Amino acid sequence: MKVDVLLGLQWGDEGKGKVVDVLTPHYDVVARFQGGPNAGHTLEFEGQKYVLRSIPSGIFQGDKINIIGNGVVLDPALFMEEAKALEASGHPLKERLRISKKAHLILPTHRMLDRAYETAKGKEKVGTTGKGIGPTYTDKVSRNGLRVGDILSNFEEKYAKAKARHEAILQSLDFEYDITDMEKTWFEGIEYIKQFHLVDSEHEINNLLKQGKAVLCEGAQGTMLDVDFGSYPFVTSSNTVCAGACTGLGVSPHAIGEVFGIIKAYCTRVGAGPFPTELFDDTGRKIRDRGHEYGAVTGRERRCGWIDLVALKYAIMINGVTKLIMMKSDVLDNFETVKACVAYKLKSGEIIDYFPFDVNEVVEPVYKELPGWNADLTKMTNESQFPKAFKDYIAFLEKELETPIKIVSVGPDREQTIERDNVV
């Protein structure tokens, strides 16, 4: 069996949670392969709204196995809060969820370091969520991290050593903090995690593949936030691209099957960093208001702009995307004209159609204008109901991106998802 990969192709917030929930009936296993509780995957169905931060989005399907892979960083306190809320709403997590022993732990002092580093950068701050993700990945790479498996043996000594190291750094940065309450809840989270299936996830997932189980790998954030290929240094601390599924779960590149790339019909970004198509006018505010563009976890206002096909072509290439899934099409329902960026104009006047080394330079988007569809997509249940202008928009994107759009979302609910019959 192959593993299929689902990931965002923009700067995150593309709607991955909903898509995983919609696709899960076709799979036996859903596995998260990177990121931490800075992710916010929103799902809406049966009149309820859920926001998942660390737990895979397949958790609502009762007969599915869900795995938190080794590439994920886990905050025990936030995980406990998230899991208990789901259990209270009737979802038996302990029967459905398995956690990799090799996943790294976010310590309370990691969160303090995150804030201290951002404060020290001043105007050059990256705009992190302050959840400690970056410092945790830093410790992982520098071989100083603590992993979930460490909680099973002599953990207090390991924790004290890591904490002392962090406190020395915080003292050198002259950063004042108090983690007393946070630390108490954190250790409660450690005991809570011990109630779950803690597994060697690389063996687990490969054994499931040998048994013929269908696996869907769920990414967090988006391709343009990848630590290697994103708009560095305004990126996250992990590999958000398809290759990250291999390292974040322990599966061979030969095992990769379909690669589903999720896009919005427009584009958004949270935090600092370049955003060539960002709109600072009433159009940008209209997209934000209609799309309810606020972070699911942080509540931060998202920056909004037209779709960027230059960045999308790059993301499709890096990931080997086989099918596209377009979200929030309905947000553009009442625009007379919609735009798509097809090239960048540099300061020198040169026009390029590829994503450059340093997109932090000011680039001017070159747009193609298309007629809007001025119709309520939210009421539509079949592709045949789409207005011609919207069909033309889809056809234009497919031609430019050289990749078929398999699924179109026309609203936040699970039911407002249309699979296109003519796309294999």
412: cis peptide before it, omega within 30°?
no
Q: What is the DSSP string of 198-222?
A: EE-HHHHHHHHHHTT--EEEE--S-
Residue partners of 160: CB distance under 8 A and separation at least 6: none
β pairing state of 267-269 and 215-218: unpaired
Q: Which residues contact 357 (CB under 8 A, 6 or more apart)?
A: none
Q: Is 13 a catalytic residue?
A: yes
41 is a catalytic site residue: yes
Query: Which listed residue (4, 41, 91, 114) is catalytic?
Result: 41
DSSP, residue by residue, 358-419: -TTS--EEEEEEEE---S-GGG--SGGGS-HHHHHHHHHHHHHHTS-EEEEE-SSBTTSEEE
What is the distance between the alpha carbons of residues 117 and 115, in angstroms, rounded to a whole number? Answer: 6
CB 218 within 8 A of CB 260: no
CA nearest 55: which of 70, 36, 71? 36
- Helix axes of 133-141 and 108-121: crossing angle, nearest 10 degrees: 100
Cross-strand bridge partners of residue 68: 32, 99
For residue 129, give the 3-state DSSP assignment.
coil
Candidate list 13, 28, 75, 114, residue with the active-site label: 13
Cite the active site residues.
13, 41
